[in-house]
Structures are given as structure tokens and as C-alpha cells.
Amino acid sequence: MPSFDQLQLHTPRLLLRPVQEGDAAELFAIFSDPEVMRYWVSGPWATIDTAHDLIARDAQALAQGLHLRLGLETIEDGRLIGTCSLFNLVESSRRAELGYGLARSAWGQGYMREALSALLAYGFVELDLHRIEAELDPRNVASARSLESQGFQREGVLRERWIVNGEIQDSYLYGLLRHEWLAIAAGTQATLA
């Protein structure tokens, strides 16, 4: 995989870019929110050190092409409102997993759909991925809508997959194949023409 440490993706309202040390306070504000972390496999961040650790780990992983996590920065005011990532990249199978998180103040405004469109295009076109997967808590209806709006299909249920803060949680497994994404992208282009 190529190095991702200089990667930037642009959408009409967002700049997707690697997180930087100056983002630590905004990352902590996002991921320490219990509502944002409600459906994650870990609880809310307890200290800002978690943000600093993530930024340091990402710097190495991005440079080595091990995974791709990008911060979502609003073009309008330069705020960091979340992250999206491709991880568990399996080059031999041309497969990756998708993850994302968004500040509660940005919910319901279409930012994640915009970011995912750009990230999926990068994954399927530039990285030549064949399959992208996502796993989510069945109760996270908004996240399911975001995935389904991109063409992801629910493929199964991983029963009692996670125990978070003593609570047993199932997971839905979603998948999107390159040829499905290409058909959707072609339809979108035809609609815009």
C-alpha cells in the first residue's frame, strides 16, 4: 500500500486529511462524548492522552501505508468534526474495513455521507480495492442509513460480538463490492449530467 501521510481528499464542504497534533483537543471533545461513542466497541475517551496516542500511532501507520484515518475538517470554518478510516487492509484480497465517527454537533447534516463518498472513491479507484466492509451496532440506525446510501448491503449478523461496559452487543456486517460501487457512481454521474 502507498504512504497516506500526505493524502488529502476534497468534497464540497470538507477537507479530509491526516490528523495532526493540533487536533488533539477537538478529537478528545468528539470521542469523549458518550453519545458519539454509544455504539463503538470501546467507551468514551477518558483523557486527552488517548487523542495524543492516536495521532502518534496514525503518523507511523499512515507513513507505512498500514491504515488510512483522515480527519474531517469543515471548509467553512476549519473545525475538525470527525474521522473516517480504511483499516485492516488486506492487499492480497484487495479488501479493507471502514470506520468513522462524527461530532454530535455535525449529526444530521450529511457530512458523513459526503466524506464516505470521497473515501470510497479513493479506496475503489486509487487503491483498487475489491471489497470494503463495515461493522455496526444494529441500534445505530443513522450509521446504517449512511452506509446504505453508499450502496452497502447488510450481509449478516455477528451475534453477541462485543461486550462494551458490561453490555453484550450484536453487530451487523455490511459489505460493498467494487462493481456495485462503480454502478452506483455511474448512475450518479448520469444523474448529474
Helix (H) or strand (E) holding 73: strand 68-74
For the chain, percent of residues with pLDDT exceeding 70: 96
Q: Is the pLDDT of residue 50 over 60?
A: yes
* pTM, rounded to two decimals: 0.91
In terms of DSSP H, where are the helices of the chain?
Answer: 24-31, 49-64, 111-121, 141-149, 178-192
Overall average pLDDT of the 12-33 stretch:
95
What CATH number belongs to 9-192? 3.40.630.30
Domain-by-domain residue ranges, the chain?
Answer: 9-192
Q: How confident is the model at residue 190 (pLDDT cuts 50, 70, 90)?
A: very low
Strand partners, 10: 15
Q: What is the pLDDT of residues 59-74, one digit of tens each?
A: 999 999 899 999 999 9
Cα–Cα distance, 49 to 42 (Å, whole number) = 16
- Indicate the burial class of 72 (C-beta count within 10 angstroms; 0-12, 13-18, 19 or more): buried
Beta strands 9-10 and 68-74: pairing type? unpaired
Q: Is the pLDDT of residue 189 over 60?
A: no
The highest-confidence range among 4-8, 40-44, 175-179, by mean pLDDT, is 175-179
CB of 145 within 8 A of CB of 112? no
For the chain, percent of residues with pLDDT exceeding 90: 79
Q: What is the pLDDT of residues 110-158, one digit of tens each?
A: 999 999 999 999 999 999 999 999 999 999 999 999 999 999 999 999 9
∠ CA 83-55-152, nearest 5°, is 25
Residue 169's nearest CA partner among 193, 136, 142, 146 is 136
How many CB atoms sit inside 10 A of residue 170's CB? Answer: 14
